[in-house]
Amino acid sequence: MSDTVSTMLIGVAMVLLLGVSLVIQMWRTRRSLMGKVVGITSNVRYNEKLCENYREDRSIGRFKTSAWDKYNGAVDFLPEELRNELSKVFEIISELNISIDTARKHGSEGYVSTVDVEKLKAPLASCGKQLQEWAYANMNNPDYLPRKYSVFRRR
């Protein structure tokens, strides 16, 4: 083989290895306890923005509940008050999603305007703030971070 072909093959192999490494790291991070909190926080922030945009644009989309649906049984490490507040918020969100779906089925703009997102703004803001504070307080706690695996383990 020529030098350029072998150099290109080595480059492609390095890029593939880097890509696989990044995918594995992202997978480990999402599975960690901190990753679960980050996912729920992401849902809360998205829903806050959706509430803000609802004033200007009545063609509202569905609120996100995917991270909460996935991790609500696995967040026992969060403070109980925060878990209870998150449960209430995501219960309200599921009710609003049902109302939004019903409005879309009827195709009525008037029916969409009856969806009340005001009752969700304050609890969402409170949950977002508490989740962020919890994440900052536990950011360096090794119990919540993804496990680091190595070929050469120290014992």
Helices (H) and strands (E) counted in the chain, each on its own, are: 6, 0
Q: Are residues 110 and 144 in the same domain?
A: yes
Q: How high is the mean pLDDT in each 10-residue block of the chain (155 residues)?
A: 81 81 58 79 90 72 87 84 92 87 73 72 91 85 64 54
Q: Are residues 27 and 44 in the same domain?
A: no
Q: Are residues 63 and 106 in the same domain?
A: yes
Q: Are residues 129 and 149 in the same domain?
A: yes
Residue 27 is part of which domain span?
1-31
Nearest to 68 by CA among 101, 94, 49, 48: 94
Tokens of 122: 């304050």
